[in-house]
Amino acid sequence: MKQRPSFPARLDVTLAKNRPNTVGSPAVPAARVAAPVPVASASGRAKPAPQPPVSQGHGMESSALRARMVQKLAAQGISDPLVLGAMGSIERHRFIDSALINQAYEDTSLPIGLGQTISKPGVVSRMLELMRNGQSGKLGRVLEIGTGCGYQAAVLSLLATEVYSMERLRGLHDKARENLRHLRLANLHLLFGDGMQGYAKGAPYAAIIAAAGGEAVPQAWVDQLAMGGRLVAPVVTAGTSGSAQALLVLDKTPQGVRQTILEAVHFVPLKSGVA
């Protein structure tokens, strides 16, 4: 039996060219969408800038705002039609506090409680596109580390046949469950537990995506990644005080673990245990 490659392996540091190190805002050439985006009310016609929605609780008509958000993501360089379609299908405003509802479709991170945030749509779509790695159809089983408010888990459910999403903070786990209830996603499983341990019962995973960054990827994640699978996560960059992070893409191949460092990002720290 071939010996499992040790980890952490030496990083194959390949800095993305033509991408400034601006946090959460990778500058990539604009690309045309390869296929029509399945978003309600999205069309090829130019739309006037929507007026701020009138909100009552979490009730708002967001189809035009979602279509506009998808157009902006495509202009930023996101070209995977499944990713764009999923981003346009899930109502982001349902996952944030009603006081912030008018910022729901802006490319900004927002607080969700307990010191955590919902990531920018641009960062979410970038990581999902990296995770899919040009696949034409849905991925198989996917593990998400850090459910947060549940938004990315909902998007993932449209990109994979089965999703396991783990959250270490009980308050957020309960909030995500409530936020997702209306969608009735049969292929999404929410788990409360220590994300650093992964979820061995669901392994192997075609892909793993994390919403928190540590100094190294936990060995459990690498063990639970299927051969040929891909992991996308923020990591603390070498030689920093622990605050600077960059996106890591890890591919598990028969020849060993291949890692590539991309643009700078900013996520909450990866922590062990539950709370």
Catalytically active residues are 119
Spatial CB neighbours of 207, under 8 Å, sequence gap ≥ 6:
131, 132, 139, 142, 143, 160, 225, 229, 230, 231, 232
Q: Tokens standing for 215? A: 């100094």
Burial code (b: 16+ CB inside 10 Å, e: under 16) for 152-189 equals bbbbbbbbbebbbbbbbbeebbebbeebbeeeebeebb
Say if CB 242 and CB 236 are below 8 A apart.
yes
CA–CA distance, 46 with 64 (Å, rounded to integer): 11
The DSSP output letter for 235 is E
The DSSP output letter for 99 is G
CA–CA distance, 255 with 37 (Å, rounded to integer): 37
Q: List the beta strands (DSSP E) in 97-159.
A: 110-113, 116-118, 139-145
